[in-house]
Structure 1
Amino acid sequence: MDKIIVKVKDFTEYPDARYIEHDSSSGEEFYYNYVKPNFERAINENKQLVVDLDDTAGYASSFLDEAFGNLVYDFSFDIIKLRLQIISNQEPDWIKLILDDIIYIWKEKKEKGLPRKEI
């Protein structure tokens, strides 16, 4: 399957907070400006979205949680599992966290009828 590649380092070298109102390098901003539009494009073009986490100063788990968990509210779980690939050669544990934990936790949250954004 052809790929669309998004590199977090093209968004920021310093990924930071969860929400836009807390930092301009937030997971929420990355989701809405990079992940979501490119995931939609991947679906429309029958491609896979590859998000490369390497070459940044590091991550707060809240950034990753917001940047990838939101997918569950906008796309089906099966499509996410089929179309999303994460690269993290520098911190391979992030791949498992995103694909095996975050996506499933947000899926349960959505199934319980909870809002995507907690205030």
Structure 2
Amino acid sequence: MENLIYIKEFSEYPGLRHCSISDDSGEEYYHSILNTTFKDCYEKGLKLVVNLDFTAGYAPSFLDEAFGNLIYDFGVDTVQKFLEIVSEQEPDLKEMILTETFAQWEERRKNDDEPKKTKEHQNWFRLKDGELITKSN
């Protein structure tokens, strides 16, 4: 089984990396939708499918921040097991996420280089030593 979400349901016009510089940012998408949805799928043993299609386009920084935070909080092995990114319209962006973002953010995770938060967010989840913990600003 799987759970399917479309970024277009968050915004037809995704913004930039951080909340402090644009509306509908990658940071906001991660904290308002992706983190909790992924955590729920992880707990249920379901694959989360994220569809990149049907938006007006993306700044690479939006995707890097959203999916990078996911790698930081859950680790590359868990994300690769429970996440599938699909895109008919933007296959190069999917490839960028899988090859560049995943590797760079896994390195950040290993180095404890915490992601920047530019506004207060609701609590979010992180997998640490095989256990889900709740994080806050």
Shorter-chain-normalised TM-score: which range?
A: over 0.9
**CA–CA separation in structure 1 for the residues paired with 2:112 and 2:8:** 34
- In structure 1, runs of 5+ residues without a counterpart are none
- In structure 2, runs of 5+ residues without a counterpart are 119-137
Q: Identify the residue that residue 32 of structure 2 maps to in structure 1.
A: 33
Q: Identify the residue that residue 113 of structure 1 maps to in structure 2.
A: 112
| CA shift for structure 1 position 24 | 2.2
SS in 2 for 1:85: strand
**CA–CA separation in structure 2 for the residues paired with 1:98 and 1:25:** 19
SS in 1 for 2:49: strand
| CA shift for structure 1 position 111 | 1.6
Report percent identity of matched pairs: 41
| CA shift for structure 1 position 9 | 0.6
Matches within 5 A, 1:1-119: 2-117=1-116
Number of aligned positions between the proteins: 118
Q: Is the 8 A contact 2:75 2:109 kept in 1?
A: no
**CA–CA separation in structure 2 for the residues paired with 1:47 and 1:112:** 29
**CA–CA separation in structure 2 for the residues paired with 1:57 and 1:70:** 23
Q: Is the 8 A contact 2:12 2:56 kept in 1?
A: yes
**Greater percentage in helix:** 1
**CA–CA separation in structure 1 for the residues paired with 2:61 and 2:82:** 22
CA RMSD of the aligned region, Å? Answer: 1.4
**CA–CA separation in structure 2 for the residues paired with 1:47 and 1:113:** 28
SS in 1 for 2:3: strand
TM superposition score normalised by structure 2:
0.81
Return the letter of the residue paired with 2:53. Answer: D
TM superposition score normalised by structure 1:
0.93
| CA shift for structure 1 position 73 | 2.0
**Deviation string for 1:33-71 (max 9, x for gaps)?**
111011001111110011101000000000000010001
SS in 1 for 2:88: coil
Return the letter of the residue paired with 1:16. Answer: G
**Greater percentage in strand:** 2
